[in-house]
Structure 1
């Protein structure tokens, strides 16, 4: 994919830039170790066309899925990123190391933490992006990473991804395994591979990254799931939303009729326009209304 340098708004005055088309620029984000892989530790920033003043363009961070494995990459989210950008949003589409290409425990989770923390630098360089009010969206394994990414401030200092520089204000999970212990003990060996063992072998690893074990009642979460998903059961989203609600938090389950694990993010799906509108609505809504 061809990328170009994006004009920047001067943050010292309320000026604007105007882009004639959706523009994409790639960034290599720094990692906490010295082993960054420039082929995988990057994110593409998409900016919409039109006039852009300071703090006027909402940002969505996208984290792709693929069972935490390297068969799929961030390019699968390029169509979604362009669709959102065409609707006036900035999009930060993240790539990271996965099982089979240097990832797995703990590298994959550390990479996501580092990619999210780099949003602070992106905000600084492009002040047209709204700051301190951003949504993270993930699909499948990326949904687990997205929801976990919104609760890193709850981690102990010695846990992977702790002490975040960036905290999203809202999260959208699409077909996510949000109860990892439940999923792993009901036949999802992809989770076992990503974590490096079963819940009984490494309970502390699951406790550190399992969304249902790391709930922040102050961060609204919308869990979208297809009712025909045979890869990641919708029971994962249902159990998670019920637990958030039980703890007094804000979460909503959106069950899409006739959609499976892949079709739910396909541009050919009849539900695709609704998924796009949910992302736009949640990104722009008042926090109290994000799960309405």
Structure 2
């Protein structure tokens, strides 16, 4: 592993205290600028879960792959988030953070080589960020052109919001996030659900444990089949193994999946 340099201050992409990201950089060495991973943490979009619980993962991902990682915070349910704010924050982060990271680390981060990544609800946000050209006109975060992203690495993602709501995942987390079930707010599901929006920009890789206790691996299978994504199933792994650098089963799969996007520059 290479060393890691943590940014002294978070990157600020908006006016709210939660519109920030922690930047992790590989140890300074001469050479080409490195790719940037925008990583969205999970926690079923709820305020009690923030980016601090993935700091070790982000630091290890930087050390192992040589990529810069921006661990993104966003407004969450119970702290000013939910529909449409969480999605608007995601879009703002995707639009602004590559250039902010490049400015914070001159000559070290390549803002033109970006991967969206996330875990659980953050996996949903990463997928959605790469689908903004497919959301309906007038929906939050809508863009007319596909996002300029190398791809999406979705770790145990909430890839099908309607299905997750039917399962009651996260104690009704989807309904809390969107303001109701699909029958009550169909327009919101149409604008926010990756399963309804088609294939994201760039390549998509999904990593999901077969023993995931929060979201069934069947959800990942159906999503990958419909969206044309590559699925790596991890036998015997649960929901949090995919963000555990000490997991002998999951960690090599996660890091190698990232390398398929960024190539030898992050080797």
* Partner residue, 1:228: 211
Give the one of 55, 68, 92 matched to 2:45.
Answer: 68
Q: Deviations over 1:232-285 (max 9, x none)?
A: 11111111111123xxxxx11111111111232123322243144234313324
With normalisation by structure 2, the TM-score equals: 0.88
Change (3 A) 1:171 1:77: same
Quote the RMSD (CA, aligned, Å). 2.2
With normalisation by structure 1, the TM-score equals: 0.81
Contact 2:11 2:21 in 1 (8 A): yes
Contact 1:26 1:45 in 2 (8 A): yes
Deviates more, 1:158-167 or 1:171-180: 158-167
Aligned residues: 256
SS at match of 2:108: coil
* Partner residue, 1:138: 118
For 1:164 and 1:122, locate their aligned partners in 2 and report how far apart those are by CA, in whole Å: 23
* Partner residue, 1:37: 16
| 1:218, distance to aligned residue in structure 2 (A) | 4.9
Change (3 A) 1:218 1:69: closer
Q: Provide structure 1 residue ranges, at least 5 long, that are not aligned to the other structure.
A: 1-18, 31-35, 246-250, 287-292
Give the one of 74, 82, 87 matched to 1:96.
Answer: 74
Which structure dedicates a bigger proportion of its chain to helix? 2
For 1:162 and 1:62, locate their aligned partners in 2 and report how far apart those are by CA, in whole Å: 20
Where relative contact order (Cα < 8 A, 6+ residues apart) is larger, the structure is 2
SS at match of 1:132: strand
Contact 1:23 1:49 in 2 (8 A): no
Contact 2:153 2:258 in 1 (8 A): no
Change (3 A) 1:57 1:107: same
